[in-house]
Amino acid sequence: MSSRDEGAVTTPRGSGVRAGDVLARGGSRIPADEAKKQILRLLDARLSGDATERWFKHMQLVAEDANQVTVLVPTETHVLWIQENFMPELTHALSQVLGCGGRPRVLAMNGAAGGQLTMLEEPKKQSRAKEVASETLAKSLKSAGLNPLYTFDRFVVGGNNQFAHAACKAIAAGVRTAYNPLFIHGGSGLGKTHLMQAIGQDILKARPESKVIYLTCEKFTNEFILAVQKGNLDSFRRRYRKADVLLVDDVQFLTGKEKSQEEFFHTFNTLLDGRAQVVLSSDRPASEIQTLEPRLVSRFECGLTVALQPPQLETRIAILGRKMEEWEVKIPEDWVRFVAQRIRSNVRRLEGALVRIATYNSLGQGELSTDRIEDLLRDILREEAAAKVTIDTIQKTVADFYDIRLADMTSRRRPANIAFPRQIAMYLSRKLTGGSLVEIGEAFGGRDHGTVIHACKKVDQMMQTDDQVRQTVAALGARLNR
């Protein structure tokens, strides 16, 4: 372990602890790097294989007081894994070295969590020159707010994200594109942060002199408010307006904050005028961010907008395969398939399920039945069910498929070329959303539940007699379930 990994203990203001020190038993002090070394040694004695190396090498300790220690680790996956597997050992090691009594908090220090970042993976035996170069890179990634684990290499490309990925790669390659700003939107856990961070890293690796800044919109807003309060707006502006590449994550949080929106608008204009690259992400299209000023919406949309969709089954399997390689765990293929089939809407959730099952597997507790897996993943599956297909998406998908207007799903019009797709949409809503007959009737322009029952019966009957109807319903179902 090199020395740059250590000395990373941070201490909150007012705790009376000097930065670089942590509290040790009896109130005496111990240098951060020494504390970390001792903790790693204790963990290593208790954990098997290279678990200490893999899960704890990058940790940073924050001593809040003698009884509360926070352990910062690189990603949410590390948090999950440590919480599932190593809490007793970690608690024990901390109490031995620091004398703290309580359970430690384990938190991710990824960019989104506020910019305290991790270091690069340990370079394997390399020359001094290379070491210096990678140290410099690690420093600049850190000060740009980038997590070294979010690289293009680690991003699995599939039909759902191909276009977004290609746009991000083009920007990272420094191609002066019309993609300015690039606006990435998509649901939670679909890789927005990962892609934005990958752009920043590639640019810094290729052109270390560039000024790259990644931050969440929330951080931008908070810093802005603080700058106003402290009267140092100038330096705030200088910092952001001299960026070559500004990556702002989760801009949906700008909603309602008038002064921050104004500031953001000007920063944004200054950067675009100066030909700096701007990349934004949001969990929804700009036009659907409520109370976002129209001038910002149109600014956000004046470059290129790309959407991330949930990954298809093959991509979900490929992602699980990649994560198993990265974490050096292996679970049987049947289980991989089961997880990929059941968790469709969020890669973060997919990772969580894999951690859970790999942990079970590593404890050698034997075969997993479907019931047992469902039990093990109960809360994750429950979250997934809540994110299931909605009547809204069914109406959109069916209208799109039959090339009719969305409004016809709720209209009173009765021509067969409209009425039949509407009945199929009602049928699918009944099968896929768990909505009641009354809810479904409501969503289809306030029809009564008898109409929904009739539609379901009719589609059922037709599926038995008409191959084409059966195939159409199957194709729509597959499209919705991806």
Residues that bind Mg ion (CB under 5 A): 192-193
202 vs 151: CA distance, rounded Å: 8
Residue 241 near residue 228, CB atoms below 8 Å: no
**Which of 58, 78, 185, 194 touches ligand ADP by CB under 6 A?**
194
**Which amino acid, residue 219?**
K
Q: Are strands 182-186 and 304-308 parallel, antiparallel or unpaired?
A: parallel
Residue 74 near residue 21, CB atoms below 8 Å: no
Give the binding range for ligand ADP (CB under 6 A) out of 10-18, 147-155, 221-229, 375-383.
147-155
Min CB(406)–ligand ADP separation in Å: 26
Residues 428-447 that bind ligand ADP (CB under 6 A): none
The candidate with the shortest Cα–Cα distance to 247, out of 76, 112, 352, 362, is: 112
Using CB distances below 5 to 8 A depending on partner kind, what does residue 141 bind out of Mg ion, ligand ADP, none? none
Using CB distances below 5 to 8 A depending on partner kind, what does residue 360 bind out of Mg ion, ligand ADP, none? none
64/283 with CB nearer ligand ADP? 283
Min CB(189)–ligand ADP separation in Å: 5
Min CB(260)–Mg ion separation in Å: 19
Label residue 280 exposed, middle or buried (CB < 10 Å: 0-12, 13-18, 19+). Answer: buried
Angstrom CA distances, 176 to 151, 181, 240, 249, 277, stand at 21, 11, 20, 21, 9
217 vs 219: CA distance, rounded Å: 5
10 vs 217: CA distance, rounded Å: 24
**DSSP H stretches of helix in 145-280:** 162-172, 192-206, 217-230, 233-241, 258-273
Cis peptide before 181 (omega within 30 of 0): yes
Angstrom CA distances, 447 to 434, 450, 453, stand at 18, 8, 11
Using CB distances below 5 to 8 A depending on partner kind, what does residue 191 bind out of ligand ADP, Mg ion, none? ligand ADP
148/186 with CB nearer ligand ADP? 186
99/187 with CB nearer ligand ADP? 187
Min CB(158)–Mg ion separation in Å: 18
Min CB(307)–ligand ADP separation in Å: 11
312/429 with CB nearer ligand ADP? 312
Q: Are strands 304-308 and 29-31 parallel, antiparallel or unpaired?
A: unpaired
Residue 1 near residue 59, CB atoms below 8 Å: no
Using CB distances below 5 to 8 A depending on partner kind, what does residue 319 bind out of ligand ADP, Mg ion, none? ligand ADP
251/320 with CB nearer Mg ion? 251
134/346 with CB nearer Mg ion? 346
Min CB(234)–Mg ion separation in Å: 30
189/421 with CB nearer Mg ion? 189
2 vs 57: CA distance, rounded Å: 11
96/162 with CB nearer ligand ADP? 162
Determine if 219 is a binding residue for ligand ADP (CB under 6 A).
no
Q: What is the CA 195 to chain-centroid distance, rounded? A: 10
Helix (H, G, I), strand (E, B) or coil at 466: coil
Give the binding range for ligand ADP (CB under 6 A) out of 51-59, 99-107, 153-161, 434-442.
153-161
Residues 324-383 that bind ligand ADP (CB under 6 A): 347-348, 351
Min CB(182)–Mg ion separation in Å: 15
Looking at the chain, how many residues does it have? 482
51 vs 55: CA distance, rounded Å: 6
Residues 154-193 that bind ligand ADP (CB under 6 A): 154-156, 161, 186, 188-193
Size of the site for ligand ADP (CB under 6 A): 18
Residue 3 token pair: 């020395």
The candidate with the shortest Cα–Cα distance to 300, out of 278, 271, 270, 273, is: 278
Using CB distances below 5 to 8 A depending on partner kind, what does residue 155 bind out of Mg ion, ligand ADP, none? ligand ADP
**Cβ density class 93-120: b for 16+ within 10 Å, e for less:** bbbebbbbeeebebbbbbbbeebbbbbb
Min CB(193)–Mg ion separation in Å: 3
Min CB(80)–ligand ADP separation in Å: 10
Contact footprint for ligand ADP (CB under 6 A): 150, 154-156, 161, 186, 188-194, 319, 322, 347-348, 351
